[in-house]
Amino acid sequence: MNKLIRLSKTGIEYADYAWNFASGCGNNINGKCKAGGFKCWAYSISQRFEGHYPNGFEPTIYPDALCSPLYLKKPSRILCAFMGDLFWDCPEFNPEGKIRAILPSQIASIMMSLKGWLFTTIRQCPQHTFIFLTKQPQNLAKFSPFPDNCWVGVTATDHHSFAVALNYLWDLKATTKYISFEPLLGQIPSTPRLFLASNANISWLIIGAQTKPTVFPKIEWVREIVEAADKA
């Protein structure tokens, strides 16, 4: 019997496993991310592997996967809801919601119950590090505070989204906070000033290109970010 339901190894260099207890995103428009206008790679995968994602890219929760990390004993870095965005814009969470079968249209009403189940599992696995990433940082506070063994990050693709990310990370209650410049689609001219002024306690950065179609960031954009981070 497979106890590691929707918990699979990943080739991503900074993680060991992807834990897809949830998939899909409410901010997807025809295969593009509303938060940045770029093509969503997760959407493309959900279309290719329809059998694994019965609702396509509609927000979906898989209750039978919520306990999977409990059966993984070796300390690991685990990407959470990697095939979607757990923090998408939705109506106010309903604390009376219950986790039931897959009901994408009712996801908002079960988010509070999901948080309880999710954080219970995470706290019972102190040997693991759980990595969250969102393009909707305005909703992170609804899950705050995060357990100590969580890394919480925000995607920033350009100057505007970087400033927004810092704003929401500033008062977020999480032990480790990070920013993912992936894909980096534009220069961030005020990087040093923003890093120094934010006091957001950013611990980690990811910088990468857009894929399919591939769009590489300019080397000077990358250099500016790295130098600013070293000085912060």
Q: What is the pLDDT, as a whole number, of residue 116? A: 87
Q: Is the dihedral of CA 74, 19, 180, 170 positive or negative?
A: negative
| CA angle in degrees (0–180, nearest 5) for 190-193-197 | 135
Q: Which helix (H) or strand (E) holds 218?
A: none
Q: What is the pLDDT, as a whole number, of residue 23? A: 84
198 residue type, one letter: S
pLDDT in tens, 13-22: 999 999 999 8
**Does 106 have pLDDT greater than 70?**
no
pLDDT in tens, 29-39: 665 666 556 66
77 residue type, one letter: R
Q: What is the pLDDT, as a whole number, of residue 93? A: 37
Q: What is the pLDDT, as a whole number, of residue 72? A: 95
Q: What is the pLDDT, as a whole number, of residue 97? A: 32
Q: What is the pLDDT, as a whole number, of residue 98? A: 31
